[in-house]
Structure 1
Amino acid sequence: MKLIYTFLILCCYLLSSAHAQRISMNDHWKFAKGDIDVSMLSQQAVWTNITLPHTWNGYDGQDGGDDYYRGTGWYMRALSLDKNDWGKCIYLRFGAANYLTEVYLNGVLIGTHSGGYTAFAFDITPFVRYDMSNQLLVKVSNADGLPIPPLSADFTFFGGLIRGVELIKKNKLHITAEDYGSNGVYVRQDKVSDKEAILSFTAKVRNTEKNAQKAVISFLIKERDGKVLKETKEEKMILPETTMPITSTFRIGNPHLWNGKKDPYLYIAEVKVKVGSEIVDNYTFPLGIRYYSIDPDRGFILNGRSYPLRGVSLHEERKDKGNAVSDTERKEDIDRIVAMGSNYIRLSHYQHGDFTYRYLDSLGIICWTETPVINKIKDTEEFAVNCENGLRSLIRQLYNHPSIVVWGVSNEINYRKGPNPAPLIERLNKLVHQEDPTRPSTLAAMFSERPTNLITDVYSNNRYDGWYYNTVEEIGTFADKLHQKYPQRCIGFSEYGAGAHPYQHQEGNGKPDIDGHWHPEGYQTYFHEGYLKAIQQRPYLWSTSVWAAYDFASDSRNEGNQPGINDKGLITHDRQIKKDAYYFYKVNWNPEPMVYICERRFTGRTQPETSVRLYSNCERVILKLNGEEIPLEKREKHILVSGTIALKVGVNHVEALAYQGDKQLEDKVVWYYLSEN
């Protein structure tokens, strides 16, 4: 039933307007890499056929060397509209393009966009030729040095049309499609409690007619079965060539709250624009009503109850594809995280695709979303405006998603030497409060006590004690000292992690060669066991997110025997291997019975003696080595460890049997011991 409900909610987004046509433009594109004279485009360029989404860095951006192509790419496509479309408003909406984009139609520049990852739309109505082919050209650049964030970051800056393109046809009076790439409708949750919800709707209605138009704008809230719960109507005269914000307020008694994973209930909201007896536009979307707070001592509180946010950080990126991923791949990545038991995802380090937020809403997974203001800034007004536009686009495009609880304005902004970032962070923090007074601002800090950390409402720390510095055991001491020094500040861990190659192994927890090529998987496991213990003892940590869910491309890296890859993921870049640490979180966060033998890929043993470590949340577990039962010691966090065992020369069979009620589970591995004699 839950799957059916999730499907219906997603369809509600996809079929958001019955009175505006949205046509996918992802097929039939041609691509050419390099700088080209637009007037000589067809003669100069060597075109290849591609479909969107697309990046030109899918391979060179993940192979190491920090030498991937950063420059210009051109996209070309034919666009046809017949005479029946005359009189409509025609828009092109780009899901995202990295990072500087120019759009031409029939040789005329119709618009430019500075910034990657956010959607943007252009009104192409004045430039369209009907009943003939139109030539659409898009120039995209990810060149180094553009005054666009990010200037510097620990991931590859994949160039291209990394998300899809839509053609949108609307009537001349319509809900605007040009408000920073948003859908033009916003619901502010002014006051919510268990007993009452007060909501403010705003719809931005645009009139492109030469005359004023009298319109009736209806605002509706429906139960998820479609039954109308509340409806209001506003009659307005919309002046020609203007966009007018129309508002309405709702009071709902005893609202059915969106309650995270336990009960992600979504109402259906709709706005209809009517002229005379004709509905000329409408927009329908799910609506989750909830209230929350972040407390310096109690952490995150959802609907009046403690709700510690525990999860992962996620890059939107895939092997050989970079950022040019499909919705199917987005769903797969989120499903693995949810199966691990996470209730929270930090969507790093930029706005992700629309599907991700819709899906998190339907699952009840809370998220932090942020802008790509990372490491350093340019001290110019142009750069600051581009940062503001990116943040404003992020907020307006994602305003209605109940899964989003904070707006992130920066990540590790003090990391690289350069201009003082504090004035820019203050400017972005102010913008968050102007755009959305209902959600806190936040940032992720590398240095825990810089002045920038005190600007936003809450903040979190990127900590790597036990990896780049200090020891794993010191993370708890660090958190306590910070909490004691700043008792009124809400703090968390926005990143913590350690690298791991799934086929590198060692006996014991000796520290890896951090900057070299020895990143044994067992050390990552040890790292996360220590961190989770510290986290669970400190309820004041409002959010904690493992760095990262998946290994990801960072072409400047050369470590862990995987050039071009940051290997701190709980799952490998190709999604084929869940590392041991993944199962450690699963056994602690997902109540479903499980048993898992660690170091299963440590198959070639060179020492005759070892021990077995496994994870299980079952009532009883039996461990056998070559058919003989081995005693187990139960430790905290669902860890079970054997004493020292002796391997025989050759093949060794390790088997774990777990029992929970009438259910039996098992896990088996094979280890080989080759004697040196």
Structure 2
Amino acid sequence: MRKSILLNEDWTFQIASRPEEHISLPHTWNGEDGQDGGNDYLRDVGTYAKHFHKPEIKEEDVYLQFDAVNSLCDVILNGENIFHHEGGYSRFIVKITDYLKDENELIVKVDNRSYARIYPDAADFTFYGGIYRDVNLLILPKEHFEFQKDSSPALKCFPSVKDGKATLRVEAKANTNDEIAIELLDKEGNIIVKGKPNEEIAIPDVHLWNGLKDPYLYTVKGKLIREGKLLDEVTSKVGFRFFKVDPKKGFFLNGKPYPLRGVAKHQDRPRVGNAISKADMDEDMKLVKEIGANTLRLSHYQHDQYFYDLCDENGIVVWSEIPYISKYSKAADSNARSQLDELIHQCFNHPSIICWGISNEITMFRKQFGKDCRANHKELNEHAHQEDPSRITGVACFSMMTIFNRVAHITDIASYNLYWGWYVPFTPVTGWILDWWHFFYPHGPIGLSEYGAEGMPNLHSSHPKRFDNTEEYQAEYHEKMLKCFEKRPYLWATHVWNMFDFGSDGRNQGGEKGINHKGLVTFDRKTRKDAFYIYKAYWSEDPFVHICSKRYVNRTDKKAVIKIYSNQNEVTLYNNGKKIGTKKGKKIFKFKIALEAVNEIKAVSGNLEDSAKIIRVKEKDKSYILPKGGNNLSWQK
């Protein structure tokens, strides 16, 4: 039967004039210089090398599986160049049976330099070079299921729910003419139905995949059989759900209103860049679940299959996209289509995914944008529907792009990246722009794909203002945005930018170079900023109370407003053991108090409580003030 051997250990790596290193995968050479500012991280050709013994095989076929290499690479086995791949976020699989020797030398040349023919070429995140996801040796029996297009799984599943009836069709092919049997198993492993490839198999009493409340998954099993003997077996998880987007009422899941309120996320971490572990992805999902989000925009590229599995298992509705971003390049038309094909085909079976994102802020560089770009969007949109008629397509529009721009009206839905209240003043304009769209295009669904403000948990102010990068300003900004959404039920989805701080080597804001600090959680995932908790108050059913500005300890003020976020209806505040008062309300509770020399603050709601300490000082604590000298350079070129 099938075997998989992880090849992550015992590699050597060399790049530029740096000495050769002994490393293990996942790996990037930009874990440090891609996050330290200056927009000067190393973009070059790195050489990875590994020696391995030929696996014990007789008639089996052997493949190499690379889960992602950024951004282009050549695979060389025993001196022969056997594969070339362009695109840094998708899987590719290479058959190596005929190239194997008893002792094998595998060399991978990896290149993260800028090329006009490969996306991304300009964006507000670091393009980490390296083999940053797993590499596996796959051993398949002589008679086996074949991979689908673009290194996608052997089973391509088409679950459908229409008029209360559920069916399943499965595409599968083998390298022989032997019998293929299809089975559908429930969560407990019981066989529900059996069938053949390409049959419409009726599913009795289907259990729907129903978002956060009940993300039920079945298992599809494919068996290759000859005269009763099992030759090969493959499986895939599948979920049955149906959805629609109503331009007046928003998103519906399984026939019921299901407002999509969530976050966007990048995948990188401090010092390791994109070379993250499964434990890292588990931690990210745990934080997403804690805040109560029901949707993720997985930006701005294809993420690890393991994370899509987590979204399936946890009921997170996903917008998944390709890195067709910021700057259009005619030379990259074919690469955009190739990356879209890989995204659709490799992620096809994930019930969590409902939208294929075609592009992000593609009108930013106006000299490059024009009729060729619009034509390319039309071609990609049509191609996405041809490859997958079951899902919608979307585009994330640049904030300065007018609602009348034709590129906003090609895909099924549109969302805007709007930063009124951060890059430009006056937060309410965000709502006005959305209302203008809804007025002029009442039949066109609209959402918010990005919005946010920088927030540093070490910077504080009693009078926060735009660009001060304080934790207080970020929290107040998001309070306003949540009130904006309450008034606009027509929004099909909203995605905070961003769930986590992330690496963007061109940035120099907040006193920390190389990082975009718009996250609700810090880059290392250790600190939940105050803004995290206002969303938790709106979205999560897990009871809590949170005192804001608890890191703002030293204050010169005589009085203070103590603000509490909670999803409870009543909060009581104490200072130095004395009851200040009790307030009833929703989400946000404010208490005015006179500050003593030392203030031990406690907020209580039932058996829930949170505490903070404020010390009254004579002089301002300058560590709370944004250092001078930052800028807003953000584009990786």
Q: Given the two structures, how large is their TM-score scaled by the length of structure 2? A: 0.94
Report how far residue 507 of structure 1 moved: 1.1
Q: Which residue of 1 aligns with 2:604?
A: 657
Q: Which residue of 1 aligns with 2:61?
A: 89
Give 1:600's aligned amino acid: K
Report how far residue 591 of structure 1 moved: 1.4
Match of 1:231 among 169, 175, 194: 194
The whole-number CA distance in structure 2 between the counterparts of 1:665 and 1:459 is 41
Q: Which residue of 2 aligns with 1:243?
A: none
SS of 2:172's equivalent in the other structure is strand
Answer yes or no: is 1:480 the counterpart of 2:435: yes
Contact 1:499 1:569 in 2 (8 A): yes
Q: Which residue of 1 aligns with 2:347?
A: 398
SS of 1:558's equivalent in the other structure is strand
Report how far residue 379 of structure 1 moved: 1.2
How many aligned residue pairs are there? Answer: 614
What are the ranges of 5 or more consecutive residues in structure 2 without an aligned counterpart? 621-637
Q: Which residue of 2 aligns with 1:24?
A: 6
The whole-number CA distance in structure 2 between the counterparts of 1:452 and 1:542 is 19
Q: Which residue of 2 aligns with 1:609?
A: 559
Q: Deviations over 1:353-377 (max 9, x none)?
A: 0111111111111111100000012
Contact 1:34 1:74 in 2 (8 A): no
Contact 2:295 2:317 in 1 (8 A): yes
Answer yes or no: is 1:306 the counterpart of 2:278: no
Q: Which residue of 2 aligns with 1:666?
A: 609
Report how far residue 412 of structure 1 moved: 0.5
Give 1:30's aligned amino acid: T
SS of 1:545's equivalent in the other structure is strand
Contact 1:309 1:343 in 2 (8 A): yes
Match of 1:162 among 111, 132, 137: 132
Q: Which residue of 2 aligns with 1:433?
A: 385
Report how far residue 200 of structure 1 moved: 1.7
Contact 2:161 2:241 in 1 (8 A): no
Answer yes or no: is 1:528 the counterpart of 2:475: no
Q: Which residue of 1 aligns with 2:149?
A: 179
Which aligned pairs between 1:359-370 and structure 2 lie closer than 5 A?
Answer: 359-370=310-321
Q: Deviations over 1:6-33 (max 9, x none)?
A: xxxxxxxxxxxxx211111111111111
Q: Which residue of 2 aligns with 1:675?
A: 618
The whole-number CA distance in structure 2 between the counterparts of 1:398 and 1:291 is 17
Contact 1:175 1:183 in 2 (8 A): no
Q: Which moved further from structure 2: 332-341 or 625-634?
A: 625-634
Which aligned pairs between 1:161-310 and structure 2 lie closer than 5 A?
Answer: 161-177=131-147, 179-193=149-163, 195-205=164-174, 207=175, 213-233=176-196, 246-310=197-261
The whole-number CA distance in structure 2 between the counterparts of 1:605 and 1:275 is 78
SS of 2:525's equivalent in the other structure is coil
SS of 1:596's equivalent in the other structure is strand
Contact 1:53 1:164 in 2 (8 A): yes
Q: Deviations over 1:75-121 (max 9, x none)?
A: 11112114x41422111010000001100000100000010100001
Q: Which residue of 2 aligns with 1:639?
A: 588
Answer yes or no: is 1:415 the counterpart of 2:364: yes
SS of 1:136's equivalent in the other structure is strand
Answer yes or no: is 1:648 the counterpart of 2:602: no
Report how far residue 610 of structure 1 moved: 1.6
The whole-number CA distance in structure 1 between the counterparts of 2:466 and 2:487 is 25
Give 1:386's aligned amino acid: N
Q: Deviations over 1:198-246 (max 9, x none)?
A: 22210132x2xxxxx431010111121122111114xxxxxxxxxxxx5
Answer yes or no: is 1:496 the counterpart of 2:478: no
The whole-number CA distance in structure 2 between the counterparts of 1:175 and 1:155 is 38
What are the ranges of 5 or more consecutive residues in structure 1 without an aligned counterpart? 1-18, 36-44, 208-212, 234-245, 513-517
The 1:173/1:384 distance shift into structure 2, 3 A limit, reads farther
Answer yes or no: is 1:563 the counterpart of 2:563: no
Report how far residue 317 of structure 1 moved: 0.7
Contact 2:70 2:87 in 1 (8 A): yes
Contact 2:448 2:495 in 1 (8 A): yes
User: Deviation above 6 Å: which 4+ runs of structure 1?
Assistant: none
The whole-number CA distance in structure 1 between the counterparts of 2:619 and 2:219 is 68
The whole-number CA distance in structure 1 between the counterparts of 2:439 and 2:287 is 36
Q: Deviations over 1:324-349 (max 9, x none)?
A: 10111001011111111111111010
Report how far residue 620 of structure 1 moved: 3.1
SS of 1:465's equivalent in the other structure is coil
The 1:410/1:621 distance shift into structure 2, 3 A limit, reads same
The whole-number CA distance in structure 1 between the counterparts of 2:162 and 2:168 is 8
SS of 1:612's equivalent in the other structure is strand
Contact 1:622 1:630 in 2 (8 A): yes
The whole-number CA distance in structure 1 between the counterparts of 2:518 and 2:569 is 32
SS of 2:512's equivalent in the other structure is coil
